Copies of this chain bind each other. A is one copy, B any other.
Amino acid sequence: MFSLEDSMQIVEMRVHSIAIADPPLRSSYGLHAPYALRTILELISEDGVTGISETHGGDAIAQGFEAMRSKIVGSSAYRLAGSLISLIEGEPQGTNLERSQTFYVPGENPLDASRRLYSAVEIASLDLIGRSLGQPVCDLLGGRVRDAVPFSAYLFYKHSGGGGEGADARADEYGEALTPHGLVAQARQMIAKYGFRDIKFKAGVLDPEIEIETVRQLRGAFGPSVPVRMDPNCAWSVDTSICVGKTLAQELNQGGYLEDPTATMEGMGTVRRKLLDEGIDVPLASNVAVTSFADLAEAVRTDGVQIVLSDPHYWGGLRQTQHLGKLCRSFGLGLSMHSNTHLGVSLMAMTHAAAATPHLSYACDTHYPWQSGEDEVVVGGRIPFVDGCVCISEKPGLGVELDRDQLARGRERYARCCYRKRDDEAEMRKHIDPAWRRILPRW
């Protein structure tokens, strides 16, 4: 029977642009740079409690937060998500193709910029409220529906190197992996360390024949109890997508899926229809054709997507992830979770989102195994995984605090490195092939 109203007023906002080492991972977008960019947002309340969140990096999003400063400072943490709602409830601009990630690496699409900003503010507000009340974030959202959130082993074709540059280079924990055999070895190593029970395989990099063989060897190595999801990020034509779907009809079912084999909702719908015509029910997932609520009606109408990849960083935060879950359940769509290169603050936001979203029907993706303790910014270092899961504890908020020294190192790395936005195509040209261009479809 006391009022926390005043104590929840936000009196300060801090935006930290950081860089973290990232290994040379490949995807259809190109190559990961030696440093990935992240942003840590801090909201500080009148009584000195700090709420944090983590999102995409670079100068643009940092400027975006600065532009919102006057709307954030002075507000109540309880009302911030409501007062900023126009950032995510306005009619989305552009066509589905423009909104989609088809032509943008995640975090660089101007049409979802306001949703990304909103997400980070909502999550930091929830962390602030949770820390003030001694409540975990998921319990501010109706209460956990699961205590342990499963993640998948995110496999990449990879060049040698552990990320970072010069004296700041990281050890290459996993080594080069540019063959089916190399991917299986990577999977064994990652699963042995983290206990993952699902495999996410980033395809769209090598010839489809090699990638098909990779999936087969993964299945051979782990058996059908470890579902495989394959994600070529639109690298294939409709015909190639159908061909791969037919060839891997067994391997990509039984809890797995084929994610964004080809570009556009129409393309996805055609792939789905033609596979079904041949009696093949490989579910199609998407984080490219479907990246916002505005895409869902078309996804349902065309049946181009059977599984939606949520992501609290993109879709508007934790409550919007819950909305998405209910929507997917209502329309018979599965729900998984997308990941980008991230640290422990994002990992815990994803974990709390999953813990508070009943319908989450697939293990979440995470890039976390690709980062190291040298770059982690949370107190105590790396978040532990148990049997492939991150556990929700009784700790308040997101359950993590910032390690100020590590944060300062991340800022220094940002100041020192040459990157201000993500451009995997440029990295590909710089390190691998000066003539490389992203071509859709490539095969």
Contacts and interface: CB of A to CB of B under 8 A. Distances in A.
Interface stretch (A107-115, A137-145, A262-270): A137-145
A80 interface: yes
A81 interface: yes
B2 A80 contact: no
A139 B79 contact: yes
Interface stretch (A17-25, A35-43, A214-222, A294-302): A294-302
Given A82-B142, A143-B78, A143-B79, A135 B5 contact: yes
B319 A134 contact: no
A326 B85 CA distance: 12
A48 to B, nearest CB: 8
9 contacts: A1-B132, A5-B134, A78-B135, A83-B143, A85-B358, A89-B359, A297-B300, A300-B300, A323-B323
Interface residues of A, number: 51
Interface string A18-60: 0000000000000000000000000000010100000000000
Contacts of A396: 3
Contact of A330 (B3, B49, B294): B294
- Greatest chain B CB density within 10 A among A5, A89, A133, A319 is at A133
A131 interface: yes
- Greatest chain B CB density within 10 A among A78, A83, A144, A356 is at A78
Interface in A73-103: 76, 78-83, 85, 89
Contacts of A47: 1
A322 interface: yes
